[in-house]
Structures are given as C-alpha cells and as structure tokens.
Amino acid sequence: MSNYSLVLTCPRGLESVLCAEIVAIIGKNAVIGNGFVRLENASLEDIYRLNLHTRTASRVLLQVANTHYRDEDDIYRVARNVAWFLWFSVKRSFKISIESTGTHLKSLNFAALRVKDAVCDCFREEYNERPSVNKDNPDIKIAVFLDYKSVAIYLDTSGEPLFKRGYRQGQGVAPLRENLAAGLLLLAGFNGEQAFFDPMAGSGTIAIEAALIAKNQAAGFNRHFAFEKWNNFKKDLWQKIHTQAENAIITPKMPILAADNQSALIKKARQNAQNAGVLDAIEFHTAHFPDDNPCQIKQGLLLTNPPYGERLGELQHIQSSYFAWSAALKQQFSGWTAGFFTADRELPKIMRLLPKRKIPLYNGKLDCRLFLFDIVSGSHRRQKA
C-alpha cells in the first residue's frame, strides 16, 4: 500500500493526547503542532482505523500537495498537478475550504476559486466533463492551508468532523464538542476501569463519551466517512476493521452516572445515549448538585463542565455556588478525583481546593482550564505526603 502524509486536527491542548491515541490505534508516532499532529508513512488501513477509533481528532487530512507559492496562479498550478480523477469520480460533488495563518494574498476566496478551477480542469481534460460543487453536503472536501510562503492541499478523509459521532440530537445551551469531552476524560486518566459521575451533565456528552470508553466502543462506530466515496476505497478491508471494532465492545465494569437539575435536559441526554448505543451503560438522574447526590460509590472520577457565564452578573451568580460544591465534594466524595472544566480561573481559589493539575485547553476560542483535584475528607487543602 502507498504511504501517505497525514495531518490530524484537534482542539488546542489535546495534541499530546491525540499522539498517544495514534500510537494505541496504529502503533506509529506523530509530531505535535499547534492544534494538529502530523503523521508520515500512513497506509489506507491506518486512515480507516484512525477515523474509526480516534476520540480526540477533529479531522484526518491526507496531504496531496505542499510547496511554495507567489500568487494565485501558482496555487492553481499546484492544484492542477494533482490527479484528482484518481481519487474520486466525476459524479462526486466537492467543496473547497481555505484557511490562512498569514498570507500576502488579497483574497482567500479568489485563491479557493482557483483551486476549484484546477480540480474542474483536471477532470475536463481527462473526461471532457467536470464534477459539481456542493457547498452544503459535498461528497468530497478539499482543504487548502496557506501561510506567507507555502500552500498545502489536503483531501479530507473524514467528511463530517469526527466530533460529530452521530448521536447528539438534543443539546444544552452551550454544548461541549464530543472530542473535547473525550479529551477531558483521557486527561483525567479515565480508562473505563473507574466509576464515573457528571453531576451537571446537561445533554450528557461527557457521560456518553465515558460510556463509549468504558464499553471500548469505537468513537466513529455509528457513522460514515468521506474515504468510503473514494475510487480506491477497499470495502473488504473496511468491513474487516469495522467488524473487529464491533467484536471488541465490552460491558462496562463500573457504574457511570449522569445528573442534571433540568428534567428536559436529562430526557435529551437519554435520547443521545440511546442513539450512541450506550443507554444501558449510564444511570440518569434528575438531581440538583450539590443538594441531591444519586451517587453512593466510594471511589471514582467526577468530571463536569459547569456553566461559566461570560457576563459579570452571570459569573458572580455561578461563583456563589462554588463553596457549596466544595463542601459537598469533601463530605460525599472523599477518595474521588474531581475535575472541573471552566473558563473561570478563580474556581480553585473560591472552592478553597488546591488542584493537582491545571491543564490549559480551548473550548472553541474560549481559553479554559481543566482543574483536577484529589478530594480529601474534612480539609480544604491537599494533605501533605
């Protein structure tokens, strides 16, 4: 099989987690960038396995060109030299996306148009017809990245972003993307061997991702990918890999609980869990944290994404609950690890808890922290060894 150069994008802060995933999935090392990792010498089988199994990547991109450019005509020539008809049929629709980290070009839209022209001209010369452009639901996505001197062109092997697992129909006001939720769990050391509880679960994303990990169920098990529409798609190989993933699913060893004080959100969370195939693995409760505690387990991981209002009045209202959360943790969750993912840097100080780790991450463009605490009964401070 041919060897390909891949770029896997991910939420900023999860690059090292993604690298560890790649080693676990295909046994190969990647190089970390800012919001992405780069992998060389990948096979088609690697592409299939990565798309199916990675929990933290956003996309798996296959590089088809990378060189210097001076103007839009250079970009056209770079794209025109790619034998696009070897990758997909003229009957497939496509879309060009373009991003830049500091180009000298006046118009990114015009540069994208030149790439579109190059793709169409390639097919016209070969078949005397061209594929159609579909901006809403294309079969094939082509990604162009520019810096000041270089242009890189990629085939998107994933199609829909990988955080779109296909299970989330109903969601809360500020939904957490699925791959970021999975990354929080992996950063907190969750591997399915521990009990899990999200007391402010919203539409259930973190608990569902915990259940997927606990069941050893591939993140992309219930969705399709763009590579299935390529000319060189190996259907037998894909079916073999997918069947292996199905056979690897297990029954969780420990309880997974999710609670929220809004019954409507818990109803949505149940539906999302059913769509994901993990409803049997999660106990859902309508309960107000910290007043109600449906969790009676002695040890595990509590991880939540509490509301954090960006307006001052909202933030002050949320902060007024922090000390009550802290008291409940020490009274009811001694021996647990607790994780709070928030944009509020004051959370540990107000809770009077010393985090064992504070991990910088981004929720979209919002600069956040994952604070991890070892909960000790009867003390606001971490005990000395």
Q: What is the pLDDT of residue 312?
A: 47
3 state DSSP class of 337: strand
Q: What is the pLDDT of residue 378?
A: 62
Tens of pLDDT along 283-295? 999 999 988 888 8
Entry pTM? 0.93
Q: Which of 300, 333, 340, 297 is nearest to 318 (CA)?
A: 340
Spatial distance between the Cα atoms of 304 and 153, rounded to a whole number of angstroms:
38
Q: What is the pLDDT of residue 384?
A: 44
> Among the CATH numbers 3.20.20.370, 3.40.1380.10, 3.30.2130.30, 3.40.47.10, which is that of 4-156?
3.30.2130.30
Superfamily per CATH, domain 178-217+226-374: Vaccinia Virus protein VP39 (3.40.50.150)
Question: Going by DSSP bridges, is the β-strand pair 94-100/196-198 parallel, antiparallel, or unpaired?
Answer: unpaired
Q: Which of 203, 159, 211 is nearest to 182 (CA)?
A: 211
Q: Which helix H or strand E contains 328, and what residues bound it?
A: helix 322-332
Q: Which residues contact 285 (CB under 8 A, 6 or more apart)?
A: 257, 258, 259, 266, 292, 294
Residues 98, 103, 109, 115, CA torsion sign: negative
CB-based contact 339:184 (threshold 8 Å):
yes
In DSSP terms, 259 is beta-bridged to 285
Q: Which of 342, 178, 173, 193 is nearest to 273 (CA)?
A: 178
Q: What is the pLDDT of residue 170?
A: 56
Q: What is the pLDDT of residue 313?
A: 55
Which stretches of 128-192 are DSSP H helices?
Answer: 178-187
Tens of pLDDT along 174-216? 579 999 999 999 999 999 999 999 999 999 999 999 999 999 9
Q: What is the pLDDT of residue 111?
A: 96
Q: pLDDT by residue for the chain (385 residues), tens digit each? A: 579 999 999 999 999 999 999 999 999 999 999 999 999 999 999 999 999 999 999 999 999 999 999 999 999 999 999 999 999 999 999 999 999 998 999 999 999 999 999 999 999 999 999 999 999 999 999 999 999 999 999 999 999 999 999 998 855 555 799 999 999 999 999 999 999 999 999 999 999 999 999 999 999 999 999 999 999 999 999 999 999 999 999 999 999 999 999 999 999 999 999 999 999 999 999 999 988 888 888 899 999 999 876 554 567 878 889 999 999 999 999 999 999 999 999 999 999 999 999 999 999 889 999 999 999 876 544 444 3
Rounded to a whole number of angstroms, the distance between the first and last alpha carbons of the chain is 54
Ramachandran class of 335: left when φ > 0, alpha when ψ lies in -120 to 50, beta otherwise: left
Q: Which of 89, 39, 81, 77 is nearest to 60 (CA)?
A: 39
**Domain residue ranges in the chain:** 4-156, 178-217+226-374
Q: Which helix H or strand E contains 372, and what residues bound it?
A: strand 366-374
Q: How many CB atoms lie within 10 A of CB 8?
A: 28
**Rounded (to 5) percent helix, strand, coil in the chain:** 35, 20, 45
